[in-house]
Amino acid sequence: MTTTVTSKNMVTIPMEIARMFEIKPGFSFNWFATGKPDEIAIRVIPDRKELSRRLKGAGKSYSPKRNAVDELIKERVKEMA
């Protein structure tokens, strides 16, 4: 896919790429040189809402019987006593 840079240095993300990476308004991108001539790489940085959605429940696979929120509450109560 080829895109063209506008006079304001803007680039349109092709729909196929936007769908593949689930890019939505509010996402940011980290652009960096790869060290090869005429080549750059782009890292998609989702907005906070998307990041939290992706992380929701991630810890359960490591410790399914553990309830980290309850542990934190108990710890805070103990600290305040």
Residue 72 lies in a domain: yes
Percent pLDDT > 90 in the chain is: 49
78's tokens: 């103990």
Those residues with Cβ within 8 angstroms of residue 3's Cβ, 6 or more apart along the chain or in another chain: 11, 12, 13, 14
Is residue 10 situated within a structural domain?
no
| Residue 33 DSSP SS3 | strand
Whether the CB-CB separation of 23 and 17 falls below 8 Å is answered with yes
Range of the domain at 68: 15-80
Q: How many domains does the chain have?
A: 1
Measured between alpha carbons, how far is residue 14 from residues 2, 22, 27, 28, 60 in Å?
8, 12, 15, 16, 36
**47 in a domain, yes or no?**
yes
Please check whether residue 9 lies inside any domain of the structure: no
Please state, rounded to an integer, the average pLDDT across all residues of the chain: 88
Q: Is residue 7 part of a domain?
A: no
Residue 57 in this model has a pLDDT that exceeds 80: no
